[in-house]
Structure formats: structure tokens, C-alpha cells
């Protein structure tokens, strides 16, 4: 149902976005550094479970926009493009900020970590807006069944996120001291994030229904 070229671009863009520093993966990194590998993985699973909600909402919401109103499509499209450009600016603006790993270890059990990760993701409106802006770029109207295409993309994104975030958490647990000695890594990852988000924002702004 999804064109292979779109699928390949989606996987590459998703991997770059998963790797790029953000609140979620930095939180997972913190769990790995301050607690354990298992805590980081459980937190990752909680965060990624929340993506199911965002994927479903984006899939069925966007499908109605595709099918009904050109005006509504354009409004969401330009809001999404503006949001992508805004967070690209934020990533570039704070590219020289040091990594903040001051979060102290929690006494909550693994179940509490999972629940916290889930609600951190579900209750973040920026994630919903991001999915509304991100997923439709890789959907082909000609192939039909837009909601199913978007759900499939959401599942792929979730799997990639679980893999990447788990690796980040484990690496943070194993290599925390070395990571903190190389602040330039954060700078270059933020610059890469900015480039990817600007490209996606422009692509969305000039896309057609």
C-alpha cells in the first residue's frame, strides 16, 4: 500500500528523528545513566505505547481532511509546516546547550516507570501535532486506504523508536562518563535535527492534497 520510495525515506527520516536529542530520548538516557538498563527499556516501552494513541488519532483525523476540505487540509498543512520549522529553529538555537543529566534516581518500580512513560507521551500535545505534520508526507492518496497507510507508518515508527531508544538507554548506562566528556556530539546532533526538520517542513508546505 505504501510506495517503496516513500517507505525508505520514512525509515531514514524516522531514524534520524529518533537519534536526535529530544525530551523523550534524553529522559530514556537519564534512566539508563541514573538507574539501570531495564529501567531505560521499560520507560521506552511506556513512551512508545503512547504512540499508538497519536497514530490512531492522526490516521483517522487526516483521512477526513484528505477526503473533504481543501481549506482544512491547507490550514493543517501550514500549521504543521510552521511547527516543524519552529522546532527546527529551537534545535539549532540550543545546539550549544550542555546535556542536562541532573534528574535524580526515582524509587518507583518498573510498572510505575512504564505508566509514567506512557502518560508523558500521550499528554504531550506536541507529539500529536508532530504526527499530524509528519506521517501524511509519506502517504500516497492514489494508493487509497489512507488511515491504514498511516497506521502502518506509525507502527514502523514505534518499532524503530523502541530499538533506538533502548540502545540509547543501554549506551547511557554503559558509557555515561565518556558521553559527558564529548559535548560536541549534542551540538552536531541538534544541527542534523534542524536540517531534517526544515526539509520536512518545506516538503509539507509545498505538498498537494
**Does 134 have pLDDT greater than 90?**
no
Q: Which residue has the higher pLDDT, 166 or 28?
A: 166
| pTM of the entire predicted model | 0.69
Query: How far is residue 161's CA from residue 141's CA, in Å, rounded to a whole number?
Result: 26
Query: pLDDT (tens digit, 9 = 90+) per residue, 148-182?
Result: 888 899 999 999 999 999 999 998 888 766 656 66
Tens digits of per-residue pLDDT, 81-94? 787 788 778 778 87
> What does the pLDDT read at residue 45?
96
List all residues 6 or more positions away from 82 whose beta carbon is below 8 Å from its beta carbon: 201
Mean pLDDT for the chain? 78
Whether 18 has a pLDDT exceeding 80, the answer reads: yes
Chain-centroid distance, C-alpha 171: 19
Q: Which residue has the higher pLDDT, 164 or 113?
A: 164
What pLDDT shows up at residue 126? 66
Side-chain-side CA neighbours of residue 89 (13 Å) = 7
Distance CA 66, CA 133 (A): 13
76: confidence class by pLDDT, cuts 50, 70, 90: low
Counting every residue written for the chain, the total comes to 209
Is the Cα torsion angle 119, 172, 37, 191 positive or negative in sign?
positive
Most confident of 15-19, 44-48, 81-85: 44-48
C-alpha cell at 100: 542536562
Amino acid at each position: 500500500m505504501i510506495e517503496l520510495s516513500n517507505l525508505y525515506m520514512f525509515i531514514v527520516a524516522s531514524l534520524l528523528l529518533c537519534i536526535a536529542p529530544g525530551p523523550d530520548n534524553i529522559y530514556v538516557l537519564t534512566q539508563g545513566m541514573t538507574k539501570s538498563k531495564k529501567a531505560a527499556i521499560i520507560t521506552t516501552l511506556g513512551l512508545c505505547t503512547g504512540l499508538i494513541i497519536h497514530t490512531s488519532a492522526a490516521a483517522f483525523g487526516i483521512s477526513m481532511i484528505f477526503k473533504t476540505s481543501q481549506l482544512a487540509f491547507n490550514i493543517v498543512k501550514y500549521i504543521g509546516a510552521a511547527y516543524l520549522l519552529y522546532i527546527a529553529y529551537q534545535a539549532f538555537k540550543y545546539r550549544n546547550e550542555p546535556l542536562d543529566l541532573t534528574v535524580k534516581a526515582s524509587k518507583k518500580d518498573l510498572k510505575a516507570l512504564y505508566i509514567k512513560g506512557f502518560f508523558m507521551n500521550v499528554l504531550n500535545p506536541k507529539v500529536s501535532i508532530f504526527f499530524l505534520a509528519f506521517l501524511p508526507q509519506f502517504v500516497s492518496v492514489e494508493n487509497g486506504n489512507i488511515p491504514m497507510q498511516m497506521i502502518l507508518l506509525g507502527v514502523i515508527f514505534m518499532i524503530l523508536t523502541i530499538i533506538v531508544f533502548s540502545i540509547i538507554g543501554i549506551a547511557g548506562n554503559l558509557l555515561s562518563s565518556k558521553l559527558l566528556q564529548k559535548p560536541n556530539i549534542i551540538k552536531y546532533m541538534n544541527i542534523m535535527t534542524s536540517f531534517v526538520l526544515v526539509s520536512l517542513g518545506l516538503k509539507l508546505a509545498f505538498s498537494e492534497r
